[in-house]
Amino acid sequence: MHGSTTIPTCFVGCDVGKAEVVVFDSRTGRTTKIPNTGAALARFAASLDPDALVICEATGGYEAVLLDALVTAGRHVHRADARKVKAFIRSLGILGKSDAIDACALARYGTECHDRLARWQPRDRQRDRLHLLVSTRRDLVRERVACRNRLQAPGMAPIEPRLCRILAALDAEIAGLDTDIETLINACEPLRQTVCVLRSIAGIGPATAAQLAALMPELGTLGRRQAAALAGLAPHPRQSGSNDAYRRTRGGRPEIKQALFMAALAAAQHNPTLRDFYQRLKSNGKKPIVALIAVMRQIIVSANARIRDAQLS
């Protein structure tokens, strides 16, 4: 995604649902409904002013048809973070909730923040497929952990055979996904190069490398502070008056932070440079979790720099 120096002539908020898209046009002040189908959205995109800016939210993939239609028609669109939009709506004092209210709020969000909003760019289809495989694997791993915990709980003997069969099925599906992920990465040269660079960093194994390649495709194009912030590893101050509390890492993509946790644990034990860095922070009075997060930040910053250098060479 990238920004735009063009000043939009109007702002269009789109609240996307499974069956239809509720549209608010700031120029006319009208709210309309459009079926969430390729043909209807293609006509809608073609009818927009070339300098219009469309704002929609990420809605579990239901916005994909709208994004494709707008990009194909050459229109500018921003896919907003739902948390930021909700905070914006609360700041306006709006308590009601409806599709029309949300569409209007999205248009107003674009009006006030358009100079800071990145324009949507379609992702590579292979990377999209990798994202789907990695996300599915992550969900199944969570289910497997929950099932194992349930199996170890007291009184589970009556359902133990069923839980064991579920665990066996989950193990088989996760193994199958691992094979599919490896096959996809080996068949796509850009992905293979990215994963090779990530694997060269101590602590990052094949699963973590695949997750980073899928969940953070911007690696190699960011500054060090941007990379840390996108990974949810940027410390934010908590200071008021004479009170200066520990800084907390907030925002970003939590799934990246989760993927880096085990990598940081391994690096803090087996990578000489990061192990010394981790121990030095602890000896200076930092809590172990704070020192570990600093290691995670070092890993993602290093990954970003190495991928950037590999792309330039």
Residue entry with tokens 């300098």: 51
192 vs 242, higher pLDDT: 192
Assigned token pair, 20: 């239809």
pLDDT for the residue numbered 96: 86
pLDDT for the residue numbered 45: 95
pLDDT tens readout for residues 263-304: 999 899 888 889 999 999 999 988 899 899 999 999 999 999
Rounded CA separation 44/50 (Å): 12
Assigned token pair, 235: 């410390």
Per-residue pLDDT band at 1 (split at 50, 70, 90): very low
Assigned token pair, 273: 């440079």
Q: What is the mean pLDDT of the chain?
A: 90
Mean pLDDT to the nearest integer, 218-229: 89
Q: At residue 250, does pLDDT exceed 50? A: yes
- For a pLDDT cut of 70, what percent of the chain falls above it? 98
Rounded CA separation 307/219 (Å): 7
Rounded CA separation 208/256 (Å): 9
pLDDT for the residue numbered 280: 94
- For a pLDDT cut of 90, what percent of the chain falls above it? 64
Assigned token pair, 34: 């459009």
> Which H or E run includes 142?
helix 125-152
What is the end-to-end Cα distance of the chain in Å, rounded? 23
Per-residue pLDDT band at 186 (split at 50, 70, 90): very high
pLDDT for the residue numbered 5: 55
> Which H or E run includes 111?
helix 99-113
Q: At residue 52, does pLDDT exceed 60? A: yes
Q: Residues 23, 12: contact at Cβ < 8 Å?
A: yes
Mean pLDDT to the nearest integer, 53-63: 90
pLDDT tens readout for residues 298-309: 999 999 999 999
Query: Which amino acid is present at 162?
Result: R
Mean pLDDT to the nearest integer, 113-120: 88
Q: At residue 4, does pLDDT exceed 60? A: no
pLDDT tens readout for residues 5-40: 568 889 999 999 999 999 999 999 999 999 999 999
Q: Residues 280, 288: contact at Cβ < 8 Å?
A: no
88 vs 242, higher pLDDT: 88
